[in-house]
Amino acid sequence: MRVLVTGAYGFIGSAVTARLLAGGHEVLGTGRDTRRAARTLPEARWISLDLAKATRAEDWLPHLQGVDAVVNCAGVLQDSGADDLRRVHVEGPRALFEACERAGVCRIIQVSAIGVEGDTAFARTKREADEALMHSGLDWIVLRPSIVVGRNVYGGTALIRSLASLPVLPMGPRDTLLQPVQVSDLAKAIEFFLGADAPKRQLLEVAGPERLKLSELIAAYRLWLGYEPASVLRIPAALEVLIFRLGDLASMLGWRPPVRTTALRQLQMDVVGDGSQWASMTGISPARVQEMLTRDPASVQERWFAKMFLLKPVLIGGLALFWVITGLITLGPGLNAGAAFLLQAGFGSSSVLIAVAGGVLDVLIGAGIAIRKAARPALWASIAVSVAYFTLGCVLLPQLWTGPLVKIVPVLLASFAALAIFDDR
C-alpha cells in the first residue's frame, strides 16, 4: 500500500512512518523541511510541502497519484512566530481532504487529540478539522489520543522527562490526571486501520490502560533515569502562569517551548478517555508506562538529554542577554572607555566610530540569538566575533588578559554548547 503521511518526521509521524515501512508499505512523507528526514529514513519518499501553505486542493493533487491512503499526523500547539494554528489544523487538512476526494483516495486517518471539546484555539481548530473530515464522503478514521509517550520525546513529553531529572519537582496547584498511550501502540493502531477490511468512519479515543497523576508519571521517569525520588515544591498559580506566559513570549520569537498558555489550559483539564473501544477493535493490548520503561532501560544519553533540555533556553537566553547588554553598555556608559582602549591600540581618530560599530554589532548578535530563525547564524557570529575580539586583543592589547579577554572564553564555549543542543528534534 502507498501511504502519504503528513508531519512524517514529527514525534508521532516518524513512529508511524517507521512502522509502515517495516510493514512493507510505501510511504510518502511530507513536511516543511525534509532534508534530515531523508537521511534518517531513506526508505521513504520525502516531499517538502508545508501544510500551512498547501491550502488548495491543487497543492496536493500532484502528490496523490497512486496513493491508497493518507495519515494526517501534523499538528502545532498554538499560534506563534513559526506556526499558524488555523492553517495547519484546518485549511491545509481541508485542502488535503478535498484533493483526496477528487483523486479517489478514500481511506484517511486523522490524528487528533483527546480534549478537543475544550475552548482553546488548539482544541477548536482540531475539532473543526475532525468535523470537516467526518462530513466528507471519505472512508475516515479519527483517532483522538491522550498524551503520547515513547522512547523519543518532543515538546510536553520532553518537558516531563526533563522535570524528572530535577532533585526538587516544581508543581502547580493542580496535579492533572493523565492516561498515557505508547507511540508504538498508536502507530500499530494506525497501521491496523489502513487495512482493506478494517472498520471505517469511526471516531475513537486512544488512551492507555492506566490513569496517572502528572507527578506520578514524572516520578516513574525519574526512577527510570536512575534517580532517587524527588521532593515536590508547590508553586503559586500566579508564578505558574508567569512561567507559561514567558513561553508565549519565546514563541513570538519563533521558538516552540512546551510551556505556553495553551498547554497550561489543556493541563487544567484531565487528559483521560475511554480506551476500551480502540483496543478491542484493533486487538492491541496497550502497554503500561512502567512496562515500556522497564523493557528499554535509560542510558547516559537519556540522563544528559533530561538535564540539557531545561538548560537549553537558559543558555540561549543568557547568551542573547549577554550580547545585547554588552552592546548597550558599549554604546552608553562604556563608550569612552572602549574608545580609549581602541585609541591605545592604534586606531586613532576612528576609535569612537569603531567602538560604536562594535556595540551595534553586539546588540545585533544578541537580537539574532533571541529569534529562532536567526539564532543559528547568530551563534556562529558570536563565535566569530569572540575569536576576532580575542585575537585582536592578544595582538594589540595583551594587558587585557587581566580581565576582558579571559571573559571571552566562556562566551565562546557557551556558543558552541548552544549550537550542539540547538536542534528541537
- φ and ψ at 238, to 5 degrees? -65, -40
Kindly state whether residues 115 and 204 are assigned to the same domain.
yes
Q: Supply the range of the domain harboring residue 375.
A: 313-420
CA 411 vs CA 309, 385, 402: distances in Å? 20, 11, 16
SS3 233: strand
Kindly state whether residues 282 and 362 are assigned to the same domain.
no
What CATH number is given to the structural domain containing 24? 3.40.50.720
Kindly state whether residues 28 and 137 are assigned to the same domain.
yes
pLDDT of residue 301: 93
Among residues 247, 263, 297, the one where a domain terminates is 297
- Residue 218's contacts (CB-CB under 8 Å, 6 or more residues apart) are 160, 163, 164, 169
Kindly state whether residues 197 and 324 are assigned to the same domain.
no
Is 246 a member of any domain?
no
**Residue 379, all three cell numbers:** 551563534
Is 164 a member of any domain?
no
CA gyration radius, the chain: 25
Kindly state whether residues 33 and 107 are assigned to the same domain.
yes
- Say how far residue 387 (Cα) sits from the centre of its chain: 32
pLDDT of residue 403: 64
Alpha-helix residue ranges (DSSP H) falling in 7-81: 11-22, 35-40, 57-60
pLDDT of residue 208: 95
Is 239 a member of any domain?
no
**H helix and E strand count, the chain:** 18, 13
90 touches 132 (CB < 8 A): yes
Give the separation between CA 94 and CA 242, rounded to whole angstroms: 36
Number of domains in the chain: 2
SS3 46: strand
Is 220 a member of any domain?
no
pTM of the model: 0.89
Is 166 a member of any domain?
no
221 touches 293 (CB < 8 A): yes
Is 240 a member of any domain?
no
Give the separation between CA 38 and CA 218, rounded to whole angstroms: 33
307 touches 165 (CB < 8 A): yes
What single DSSP character describes residue 401? G
- Say how far residue 97 (Cα) sits from the centre of its chain: 26
pLDDT of residue 77: 85
Kindly state whether residues 347 and 283 are assigned to the same domain.
no
Among residues 297, 331, 348, the one where a domain terminates is 297
pLDDT per residue rounded down to tens, the chain (425 residues)? 999 999 999 999 999 999 999 999 999 999 988 988 999 999 999 999 999 999 999 999 999 999 999 999 999 888 787 788 999 999 999 999 999 999 999 999 999 999 888 888 899 999 999 999 999 999 999 999 999 999 888 888 899 999 999 999 999 888 999 999 999 999 999 999 999 899 999 999 999 999 999 999 999 999 999 999 999 999 999 999 999 999 999 999 999 888 889 888 877 888 999 999 999 999 999 999 999 999 989 999 999 999 999 999 999 999 999 999 999 999 999 999 888 888 888 888 899 999 999 999 999 999 999 999 999 999 999 999 999 988 887 888 777 766 677 788 899 999 999 999 998 87
Closest by Cα among 198, 187, 211, 359 to 275 = 211
Kindly state whether residues 334 and 289 are assigned to the same domain.
no
Kindly state whether residues 67 and 193 are assigned to the same domain.
yes
Is 238 a member of any domain?
no
Widest CA span of the chain, in angstroms? 83
Kindly state whether residues 27 and 141 are assigned to the same domain.
yes
Kindly state whether residues 276 and 363 are assigned to the same domain.
no
pLDDT of residue 397: 77
Is 75 a member of any domain?
yes
Closest by Cα among 29, 117, 120, 23 to 72 = 29
Kindly state whether residues 367 and 343 are assigned to the same domain.
yes
Kindly state whether residues 275 and 369 are assigned to the same domain.
no
Give the separation between CA 315 and CA 311, rounded to whole angstroms: 6
Residue type present at position 148: V
